[in-house]
Amino acid sequence: MDVNQEFNKRFREVGVAEFFRKNLQMLGYSGAIRSFTTIVHEFVTNSLDACEEYGILPEITVKIKDVGGGKKNRGLLKLKRRQEALEKAESDGHKRRADTIRREIERIENELGDSVGHFVVTIEDNGPGIPLEYVPKVFGSMLSGTKFHRYVQSRGQQGIGAVGAVLFSQMTTGKPTKVITSTGNGKASVVFLRVDVERNMAKIVDESVIDTDWRGTKLVSEFKKLIYRRGEQSPYEYLRRTAIANPHATITLHEPNKTKTVWKRTSKELPPLPKEMKPHPLGLSADDLQRFAKKSKAKKLSGFLQGDLSRVSSKRAQEVLKKAKVEDKDPMTITHTDAERILREFRNINLLSPTKEGLTPIETGHLEASLKKILDSKFIKANTRKPSVYRGGIPFQVEVSVAYGGKAGKTTSDGRKMEIMRFANKSPLLFDTGACAINSAIKSVNWKNYNIGDFENAPLTVFVNVISPHIPYRSAGKQAVADDDDVVKEIRFAVMEVGRSLKRYVSGIHREALKIRRRSMFLKYAPEIAGALGKISETNPEPIENMLIDMIQKRIKLREEKDAEEENGASA
């Protein structure tokens, strides 16, 4: 057999679904605990997006049922302990240690085999339902959907997540996923489907129609090789944080031990839908510009620059083409060199910053109300920064909140510890903490300046949400924000701004504690002094005691007023 025949025999194309089937860890399916949270995340994200797009206040129910396996034994307990150690290593930013623990976890999971849990996960929403013809594409075809091709702020984007969960289900159990979706007119479709990995599309196993007044979408999937536990990276924690960042949603969780938790909405106001934005020239690469140009409906390059990009007027378009020495030709004919020249000239002229009207933060009032209900803290302060840009032309916005006392912080065996809640486009980021710019930005702040002496052990929750049509994630797992200088700077500024309010609150607590100590110290000896003076003067000690108490309180009041004046002068 010659070389050509041998090569032809071995060569074949690999579809996207087949690729991810062999690389599920890239989608977050690595480890029995992380995989569980990934499943819940992917389905809940789809439900939230669908409800919001159709103006429906979301009501989402997650039911997790243990149907076998997962017996308590030393191996499972050891696995849980190693998972806790992994969470700590990631939180502390010890990458090498975290990698070592991951390898240990993988080895333990292989040893456990089928004794790792078998669960049925049901997720139901009250959304608009999915047209029957799109059900196979939504849950069976990767890289298809309504988000990937649009420059818009959204939770998901690639059209991979839900399909990945369906694929993980059939790989671990061999069973299809059941989808029930309302189709209007008192009807709902019931579809059982699998992912055909070679064709990257769903294979319908069974299909029927039922009569019902119910509206929404319901998914029922079985999974093996999972462990359910509450913890910082669990489905429970994911949903708790989702409820905080989405105060307009009601989320219900039924856990395997039959515990039911309901996070009720704190707002009946739907957030405005993010508007699709045009890309800004300063946020593009030459390859981006060339690709957009070839998709444009414009007849001339000047028309493309003006109509398809943000903040480019007709005058600016003509000026850039002239300075770049690029002919005003059909956009389809643009070369990579043309694109490089055009972008170089855009950087040499004054352009307005990109529009930020498409960004929709949670907003300060809603965020504070949501945190107040869930954390029950006496001090909560939120700050929504003005929109900014990174990489010169990609709009983003940061919002931060700090909660102190109450249920703020996280519960550990050593008591309550500081807690960092990271979000991107209102979706919680629970993994890869040590590699995230949000984590490093918060820890780079000198918390002693805000009267938090021991930051790691403070009853404190720091909430950060970064929103953008293009979040700079570190990897395809979308669990850590990259260290972009502009993004880190905005996070730090936002944290320091709420930190000033926290400082005043903690100072007040310290002053009050000092008052109590002063009063108790002086008043403690008033009866003894009055009694001794009464004996010496052979008079009733009670009037003497009252006089002493009155004198002590006046002196303490003068001291407190002077302290307050000195503090106000220092802060001014």
pLDDT tens sequence across 358-389:
899 999 999 999 999 999 998 999 999 999 88
Q: Which residue has the tokens 């390059």?
A: 301
Confidence (pLDDT) at 421 = 96
* Domain CATH code at residue 123: 3.30.565.10
Residues 48 and 151 both lie in one domain: yes
273 Cα distance to chain centroid: 18
pTM for the whole thing?
A: 0.79
Q: Looking at the structure, tell me whether residues 166 and 303 fall in a common domain.
A: no
Confirm whether 472 is domain-assigned: yes
Q: Which residue has the higher pLDDT, 143 or 42?
A: 42
Which residues are CB-neighbours of 374 under 8 A, at least 6 positions away? 240, 243, 244, 263, 407
Instruction: Write out the H or E segment, with its range, that includes residue 513.
Output: helix 485-537
305, pLDDT greater than 90: yes
Instruction: Give the number of domains in the chain.
Output: 5
Q: Give the integer Cα–Cα distance in Å for 458 and 43.
A: 34
274 within domain boundaries: no
- Residue 434: give its domain's CATH number: 3.30.230.10
* Claim to verify: residue 547 and residue 511 sit in the same structural domain: yes
Q: 544 and 446 share a domain?
A: no
Asked if pLDDT for residue 284 goes beyond 50, the answer is yes
Q: Are residues 139 and 33 in the same domain?
A: yes
Angle between the 314-324 and 336-346 helix axes, to the nearest 10 degrees? Answer: 120
Q: Do both 402 and 494 map to the same domain?
A: yes
Residue pair 353/386 in contact (Cβ under 8 Å)? The answer is no
Residue 305, domain extent: 281-346
Instruction: Give the residue, 22 or 43, on which the prediction is more confident.
Output: 43
> Are residues 93 and 193 part of one domain?
no
pLDDT tens column, 394-439: 899 999 999 999 899 988 777 788 999 999 999 999 988 888 999 9
Inter-axis angle of helices 74-92 and 95-112, to 10 degrees? 160
Residue 155, pLDDT above cutoff 80? no
Whether residues 108 and 120 fall in one domain: no
**Could you tell me if residue 250 is inside a domain?**
yes
Residue 11 domain-assigned (yes or no): no
Is residue 7 one of the residues assigned to a domain?
no
Residues 539 and 442 in one domain: no
The residue from 263, 291, 323 where one domain ends is: 263
- 212 and 186 in a single domain? The answer is yes
For residues 93 and 333, give the distance between their C-alpha atoms in angstroms, rounded to a whole number.
48
Residue 1 lies in a domain: no
Does residue 2 lie within any of the structural domains?
no
Per-residue model confidence (pLDDT) at position 564: 62
The 3-class SS string of 367-408 reads HHHHHHHHHCCCEEEEEECCCEEECCCEEEEEEEEEEECCCC
In a domain, 8, yes or no: no
Using DSSP's 3-state secondary structure scheme, residue 273 falls into coil
Task: Please report, as a single letter, which amino acid is at residue 490.
Answer: E
- The per-residue pLDDT for 268 is 94
Domain end residue (candidates: 263, 296, 312): 263
Residue 46 shares a structural domain with residue 179: yes
Mark whether 230 and 207 lie in a shared domain: yes
